[in-house]
Amino acid sequence: MDNAWLVPLSMLLGGVFGAGVVVLVIAAERTARAADVAERHLPDGVAAVIATMHNPAVVVDPSNTVVAASPQALVVGLVVRRRLVHDELVDLVDRVRRSGENATEDLELTRGSRDAVGYLGFRAALLGNRYVLLTADDLTESRRIDEVRRDFVANISHELKTPIGAIGLLAETLVAAADDPEHVRLFAAQLVTESERLGALTKDIIELSRLQSLDVVETSEEVAVDGIVQAAIDANSVVAASRDIQIVRAKKSKLRVMGDAALLQVAVSNLVANAVKYSPDHTRVGLGVRRADGFVEITVTDQGVGIPEVDLDRVFERFYRVDPARSRATGGTGLGLAIVKHIVANHGGDVRVWSQPGRGSTFTIRIPEADPELTSALEEHLEEQQS
């Protein structure tokens, strides 16, 4: 009988002991989780600072889980589901964690799921004993500007090489032919042509550089569009008449825009000059003006050679020529349309082109129309200041 109750007792004691072990294990796990959560918790204020940063910034823990990130870090695609997207960043963080020293690295990275590429300068540093702080400067725009500047300098060097070389060669030939008046006259005329081309190129380079340095138009006033159009026609009438090209304009519009009259005249005149330059003799160039959705549109249409579709997106690039041989023959600098684009952009507008080979081209400048109420208020304000 004694043995009969010993078995249940032993089972009861075993169950109590087992339950105690289970309770202890659960308690230990909870303690470990609590300690882990406590260790994962960032120092006071760090998360708030990271959240307000304008630059990309993230904080990662020992498992490389992102525990804090600035909005910009998400925008540029550095973090997805609390993980660093790019292996290069993981390697940078691990390197800092191993060495204990700060590190910097410039990386070219794709932006999220898009094909766009960004250039970012990263800095990584230890944050306490557990975390690594990773910050970045977006270098994409500055890198693009540097590339544009390098291309511009390279293009200038290439474009200047031709007229300078021609002038030097003609000068040498002129000296050698000093005793031959006919050759002297011939080479002197060619020398004048090349020097004029060099002068035109230098002028356009200076003008374009000046336009690119302007954020807004320096002198802005209400300008009559009809006067701009007529001035552009007058500037090109002699060249057009020499080739029997008729410049035809629509009736006066009496529309007005805000801006710099001299710059706007340069833009429209450049379009007219291009239309005349690339049109066959005995044809017409048309100018039209109209109001459209708060903008004033100035169109220049020719019956020239036209522009292939593949070149339409590039005609406003500096030094870009659809037909380099033809441009050299006509004395073009390759900067006229780039100047037009910058002038119009500085006036808050844009320039568009339609063209088909063999059917001609139409360039359209769109500039915001002057608001009579706003312009009159501006004039009254200026008068008050002057008085």
Backbone CA torsion sign across 178, 181, 183, 184: positive
Lowest mean pLDDT of 34-48, 109-123, 308-322, name the range. Answer: 34-48
Own/partner pairs for 143-147, CB < 8 Å, 24+ apart? 143/119
B/e letters for 352-374, b = 16+ CB within 10 Å, e = fewer, are ebebeeeebbbbbbbbebbeeee
Q: What is the pLDDT of residues 273-296, one digit of tens each?
A: 989 988 899 999 999 999 888 889
**Residue 324 CB neighbour total at 10 angstroms:** 12
Q: What's the confidence (pLDDT) of residue 33?
A: 44
Cβ contacts of residue 62 below 8 Å, gap of 6+?
Answer: 97, 130
- Identify the band that residue 26 occupies on the pLDDT scale cut at 50, 70 and 90: very low
Listed residue (267, 277, 323, 328) closest to 303, CA to CA = 277
Query: Which CATH number belongs to the domain containing residue 131 in this structure?
Result: 3.30.450.20
Q: Are residues 74 and 169 in the same domain?
A: no
Is the domain of 55 the same as that of 173?
Answer: no
262 shares its domain with 386: yes
Distance CA 347, CA 224 (A): 14
Distance of CA 236 to the CA centre of its chain: 33
- Residue 352, in any domain of the structure: yes
CA distance readout (Å), 287 to 120, 276, 359: 47, 12, 17
Looking at the fold, whether 167 and 258 belong to one and the same domain comes out as no
Across residues 239-253, what is the average pLDDT? Answer: 90
Query: Which residue in the block uniquely carries the two structure tokens 């063209």?
Result: 355
The answer to the question of residue 333 being in a domain is yes
Q: Is residue 28 part of a domain?
A: no
Could you tell me which residues come within 8 angstroms of residue 263 by beta carbon, excluding any fewer than 6 positions away? 211, 217, 343, 346, 347
What proportion of the chain, given as a percentage, has pLDDT over 90?
22
Q: How many Å apart are CA 208 and CA 319, to the nearest integer?
A: 11
User: What is the rounded average pLDDT for all residues in the chain?
Assistant: 75
Where among 167, 190, 213 does a domain terminate?
Answer: 213
* One domain, residues 371 and 270: yes
Instruction: Please indicate, yes or no, whether residues 236 and 305 belong to a single structural domain of this protein.
Output: yes
d(CA 360, CA 301): 7
End of a domain among 138, 156, 190? 138
Dihedral of CA atoms 166, 172, 177, 179 in degrees, nearest 10, equals: 140
Given a contact cutoff of 8 angstroms between Cβ atoms, the answer to whether 162 and 144 are in contact is no
Residue linked to tokens 């202890």 = 24
Give the end of a domain, one of 193, 213, 233.
Answer: 213
More confident residue, 117 or 378: 117
Kindly state whether residue 12 falls inside one of the protein's structural domains.
Answer: no
Q: Are residues 293 and 356 in the same domain?
A: yes
- What are the φ and ψ backbone dihedral angles of 129, each rounded to 5 degrees? -95, -20
Joined together, the tokens standing for residue 146 give 């540097």
Residue 107 and residue 234 in one domain: no
Lowest mean pLDDT among 21-30, 98-107, 125-134: 21-30
Token pair for 205: 């380079």
pLDDT, tens digit, 9 for 90 and up, residues 325-361: 444 444 455 677 888 888 888 788 888 989 888 888 9
Same domain? For 149 and 131 the reply is no
Residue 113 lies in a domain: yes
Residue 119 and residue 107: Cα distance in Å, rounded?
6
Q: Per-residue pLDDT averaged across 144-172, rounded?
A: 70
Ranking 13-22, 259-268, 313-322, 342-351 by mean pLDDT, the lowest is 13-22
Would 298 be classed as within a structural domain?
A: yes
Report yes or no on 229 lying in a domain. yes
- Write out the two tokens for 107: 């990386």
Is 164 inside a domain boundary?
yes
Domain count, the chain: 3
What CA–CA distance (Å, rounded) separates 273 from 95? Answer: 61
DSSP state of 266: H
68 contacts 59 by C-beta, under 8 angstroms: yes
- In sign, the C-alpha dihedral spanning 119, 120, 121, 126 is negative
**Looking at the structure, do residues 72 and 221 belong to the same domain, yes or no?**
no
Per-residue pLDDT reduced to its tens digit, 225-241: 999 999 999 989 998 99
Query: Residues near 296 by Cβ (< 8 Å), separated by ≥ 6?
Result: 225, 253, 255, 256, 257, 289, 290, 366, 367, 368, 369
Q: What average pLDDT score do residues 64-90 get?
A: 86
Top mean-pLDDT range of 165-174, 177-186, 250-259: 250-259
Mean pLDDT for the stretch of residues 123-148: 83
User: Domain limits at 69?
Assistant: 46-138
**Residues 130 and 263 both lie in one domain:** no
Average pLDDT over residues 367-376: 67
Strand partners of residue 286: 248, 301
pTM for the model stands at: 0.50
| 134 plus 144 within the same structural domain | no
Domain at 363, CATH number:
3.30.565.10
Point out the least confidently predicted range of 127-131, 148-152, 331-335: 331-335
- CATH number of domain containing 192: 1.10.287.130
